[in-house]
Amino acid sequence: MTNRIFAIQELIRSGPDAAKVDAFFAKKGRTFPVVEGPHATFVWRGEAEGVTLRHWIFGLESDSSLARVPNTDLWYLTLDIPHGSRVEYKFELHRHGGNQWIEDPRNPNRARDPFGANSVLQGEGYEVPDWVSPDEDARPGILEPFSFHSKTFDARRYGSIYLPARFRKTRQYPLVVVHDGSDYVNFASMRIILDNLIHRLEIPDMIVAFTDSPDRLREYANDERHAKFLTEELLADLTGRLPIIDRPQARCLMGASFGAVAAFSTAVRYPDVWGRLLLQSGSFAFTDIGTRNRRGPLFDRVVEFVNTVRQDPTAVSERVFMSCGVYESLIYENRSLVPLLDATGMQVKFVEARDGHNWENWRDRLREGLSWLFPGPLMFVYE
């Protein structure tokens, strides 16, 4: 046990009282959770009938209970967390006959998503990348709203277009189309990352279309209408009014979770149109025996699609970057897909991280993914 974690054990052995617990928390430099080497100790202080750690690590008991230090209102739980891990969590408090989920009040690290926020354990070896924060030397690109009427959906579709800081109508640019675009901007800092990576010459100047769907779980789950909308309508609209390079190698589809399924299924329906794919934590559910899937009816069309791809994999793009967290339930499916795609002749790069199914995991992989698919002048030097 390290010194920091040992302090709690020493507190227990010393017959703690309120003053000793106060001193434990007041010690200069102490942060929470207490992390030292492979050990992480989660701590909560307050009256309760019980305290449970709710985390998002698939395969580890998700309702681990904190132990109460006798004769105090201090609760703790020590877990072994591999080097470089990043874990999102909450505390569940059991008191007054009810339950309440809260963020860790002693941990300032937060991750936000469309449903709220979680506390974040940053294990030893993990650091927030410096390229996800605004750089005063990087000139910011422009984010402009766009909309047009889709004949396929008979509805108005909305999104935003990123134009690089040095945008010129006389130049031509690669195009990246992003599923769940608003979430990538709001929760994965993608606009800032584009500014920084372009400034550092790690990717070329590019045009990025951030798109959203009003019915993503249905539309992203291998919907032929969505593929037609992207390829025959959105791509045609953008190339008709923006200086976009008219080659598959300069066109990329990307997305996370169901968005990755939408990107890949569109490329399958329109082979050799989208020469680059960036697929993050794809919900690539499939069955080895039979057709019934364990993830519920929302995945039926996904399972049908992935089963078909696995039976007869063919090259539909040139380069495919895939990433997934080892703490996700989808890690098996993503690992299984990699050799199948690679065997078709497509160039496939797969990256794993000690993280879960969340926006900051996807944020942290953007630099490697974008620079591998579209290496800038600096990256060409090292290829």
How do residues 58-97 score in pLDDT, each as one tens digit? 988 767 999 999 889 999 999 999 999 999 999 999 998 9
Indicate if 31 and 161 belong to the same structural domain.
Answer: no
Instruction: Count Cβ atoms within 10 A of the Cβ of residue 226 and give its class: 0-12 exposed, 13-18 middle, 19 or more buried.
Output: buried
Domain containing residue 247: CATH number: 3.40.50.1820
Maximum CA pair distance of the chain?
A: 75
What's the rounded Cα separation, in Å, for the pair 372 and 379? 8
Q: Tell me the average pLDDT across 112-132.
A: 97
Indicate if 146 and 117 belong to the same structural domain.
Answer: no
**Residue 6: what pLDDT?**
61
**Residue 15: what pLDDT?**
77
- Has residue 382 got a pLDDT over 50? no
Residues paired with 347 in a beta bridge: 319
Q: Tell me the average pLDDT across 27-33.
A: 88
What's the rounded Cα separation, in Å, for the pair 96 and 98? 6
How distant, in Å, are the alpha carbons of 28, 137, 246, 358 from that of 259? 45, 32, 24, 13
Indicate if 210 and 148 belong to the same structural domain.
Answer: yes
Domain's final residue, options 73, 98, 122: 122
**Residue 8: what pLDDT?**
73
Instruction: Kindly report, residue by residue over 37-56, the tens digit of the pLDDT.
Output: 888 999 999 999 999 999 99
Indicate if 31 and 146 belong to the same structural domain.
Answer: no
Domain's final residue, options 122, 139, 165: 122
DSSP state of 202: S
Indicate if 171 and 85 belong to the same structural domain.
Answer: no
How many H-runs (helices) and E-runs (strands) does the chain carry? 13, 18
How many structural domains is the chain composed of? 2
Domain's final residue, options 60, 87, 122: 122
**Residue 20: what pLDDT?**
85
Prior bond of 33 cis (ω within 30°)? yes
- Are the CB atoms for 308 and 291 separated by under 8 Å? no
- Which is higher by pLDDT, 9 or 310? 310
Q: How confident is the model at residue 1 (pLDDT cuts 50, 70, 90)?
A: very low
**Residue 24: what pLDDT?**
85
**Residue 383: what pLDDT?**
45
> For the chain, where are the alpha helices, taking DSSP H only?
3-13, 18-26, 181-187, 190-199, 216-219, 224-228, 235-241, 258-269, 300-311, 331-343, 359-364, 366-373, 377-382
Q: How confident is the model at residue 295 (pLDDT cuts 50, 70, 90)?
A: confident
**Residue 173: what pLDDT?**
98
Indicate if 161 and 103 belong to the same structural domain.
Answer: no
**Residue 293: what pLDDT?**
76
- Has residue 380 got a pLDDT over 60? no
| Predicted TM-score of the model (pTM) | 0.94
Indicate if 112 and 183 belong to the same structural domain.
Answer: no
374 contact partners, CB below 8 Å, separation of at least 6: 174, 176, 203, 204, 206, 252, 276
Instruction: Kindly report, residue by residue over 242-263, the tens digit of the pLDDT.
Output: 999 999 999 999 999 999 999 9
Indicate if 88 and 135 belong to the same structural domain.
Answer: no
What's the rounded Cα separation, in Å, for the pair 218 and 380? 39
- Has residue 9 got a pLDDT over 80? no
Mean per-residue pLDDT over the chain, rounded: 93
Taking alpha carbons only, the member of 204, 182, 200 closest to residue 191 is 182
Q: What CA dihedral angle connects 184, 185, 191 and 196, to 10 degrees?
A: -60
Pairing of strands 86-95, 276-280: unpaired
**Residue 340: what pLDDT?**
97
Indicate if 213 and 349 belong to the same structural domain.
Answer: yes
Indicate if 203 and 172 belong to the same structural domain.
Answer: yes
Indicate if 175 and 140 belong to the same structural domain.
Answer: yes
Q: Which residue has the tokens 């897909």?
A: 337
Domain containing residue 22: CATH number: 2.60.40.10
pLDDT above 70: percentage of residues in the chain: 96
Of 20-24, 297-301, 319-323, 347-351, the range with the lowest mean pLDDT is 20-24
182 in helix, strand or coil? helix
Q: Which domain holds residue 226?
A: 130-382
Instruction: Kindly report, residue by residue over 298-336, the tens digit of the pLDDT.
Output: 999 999 999 999 999 999 999 999 999 999 999 999 999
Indicate if 137 and 203 belong to the same structural domain.
Answer: yes
Q: Tell me the average pLDDT across 102-119.
A: 97
